[in-house]
Amino acid sequence: MKNLILSLSLLSSTFLFSQEHFSGISTSKRGGLLNATNNPAELANMNTKFEINAFNFSIGMANNKLTFSDLVSGDNLEEKIFEGNETVNLRLDSQILGPSFAFKYQKWGFGISSVANIKANVINVDSRLGDAIQNGNLSNFFSQTEISSNDNQRLNATTWGELDFTIARNIIDLPKHKVNVGTNLRLLFPGAYANFSATNLNGTIVNNFGDISLVNASANINIAYAGVLANDYNDQGNYNEFFSQGINGFAADLAVNYRWKDENDASSYRLNTGLSVKNIGSMTFKSDNNLSKNYILNVDNFESLDLNQFENAESLTEIEAILNDPANSAYFQSTSSTADYSVKLPTVINAYADVRLTKKWFVTASINQKVSDDSKSDFITTQNSYTLIPRFSAKWFEAYAPLASNEISGFTSGIGFRLAGFFIGSNSVFTALADSGKQADLYLGLRFGI
């Protein structure tokens, strides 16, 4: 298990590192497909008749323990991530928008997009438990540490592809006011999945000169995997499986957009606001090696579970083999098992308001608030974020500076630029380079309007 936690940290530093994808550029005055990923109703505001997205890429990591310099240096990550008593939370989130096309027809906007997603998470892992498994020691050569957690401690990774169909329509268009509605209908292609979780873990970790054991313990355990992530979660190539299982899921986004128009400038507005509910849906994994299995952990007073045996596990199949080992059968009682199983996407409410201060200066406030209980084992996770974005916006050039408060990583600040159809930015470059940030990200892309 230690290798999954560390590999997620190392994957973050290797990939480079956005939690709220395309923040800043997705609320740009230059409308288009990227705005529609944030709010489908925005597609009816597209500035050109046609738009082609050549390639858009966003990747980011947020955590509550490691700073950017820790990840870059790579020194003692296994010790730093488990320091203190605060539970470990880490989110790695990447999105790739492939070739995409949109067009306007009268009051309608239509778009089709190809999307690839990667999410990998460490969720509410007890630092003392992680330190015991990873480092083989606690604070002394001999010690006892009580673990009492009501959380669902999870190690989780998911990859999937999408084919998205966006439809928007203008329903009110007055000299000063405009209202659009829209939806994004998404066909989901499950790729690979891995989940290990322990709910309501209670017990005592005993360290006897490096021999780590768990006594007087109880928990509900889930282990689930599908596709290549069952075999090796350290191999970065395994995170490239996006469309391998065909169409086995559906999701939808629903949205409304209101615009207070500038009657003296048809290309601008005084206020642009939007509200959307995103990621309503789920997908089912049906690969040949699928497994989702639940156990009850029970270690009585006069028994002990050897935790050292989990130290070098590099795949969920190895962990499953340890749980099913006859030597451990007294501790893990299987309660259910299934081959095909579904996971739910993290439903999010997105709201924003873009206010024009002067002719070329704007400020945007946005909220991403999850409404699903992503502590459950069958949910893909995300984090809440609240963002303020001052912006200079001209026809061919745009510059903006996102300031955000994030559920996992705290405060971040960054910068982004657009030159015609090319854009590049980061939500957190300033806080990362200041050595205080616990989030790092990068996004860029190229698109053409005709």
Q: What is the pLDDT of residues 127-156, one digit of tens each?
A: 877 766 665 544 556 777 788 888 888 888
- In-domain check, residue 369: no
Please tell me the predicted confidence (pLDDT) of residue 212.
Answer: 82
Residues 6+ apart with CB under 8 A from 199: 151, 152, 153, 219, 220, 221, 222, 377
407 found inside a domain:
no
Domain containing 180 equals 2-356+375-381+422-449
Number of domains in the chain: 1
Q: CA 293 from chain center: how many Å?
A: 24
CA distance 116 to 192: 12
Q: What is the predicted pLDDT for the residue at 266?
A: 78
Beta bridge partners of 120: 92, 157
**By the 8 A CB rule, do 16 and 440 touch?**
yes
Does residue 361 fall inside a structural domain? no
Residue 17's pLDDT is 36
Cβ–Cβ under 8 Å, residues 115 and 96 = yes
- pLDDT digit string, tens, across residues 388-413: 999 999 989 999 999 999 888 888 89
Taking only the tens place, the pLDDT of each residue in 74-120 is: 666 666 777 777 888 888 888 999 899 999 999 999 999 999 998 88
Residue 359, pLDDT above cutoff 70: yes
- Is 203 a member of any domain? yes
CA within 13 Å, CB half, 197:
28
Whole-structure pTM value:
0.85
Lowest mean pLDDT among 47-51, 263-267, 364-368: 263-267
Identify whether 390 is part of a domain.
no
In a domain, 320, yes or no: yes
Residue owning tokens 């190229």:
446
Contact 248, 189 (CB under 8 A): yes
- Residue 367 in any domain: the answer is no
* Residue at 394 is within a domain: no
Show the tokens assigned to 152. Answer: 């669902």
Q: Which two tokens stand for residue 199?
A: 């709910």
Write out pLDDT tens, residues 231-283.
765 555 555 666 667 899 999 999 999 999 998 887 789 999 999 999 999 99
197 beta partners:
154, 222
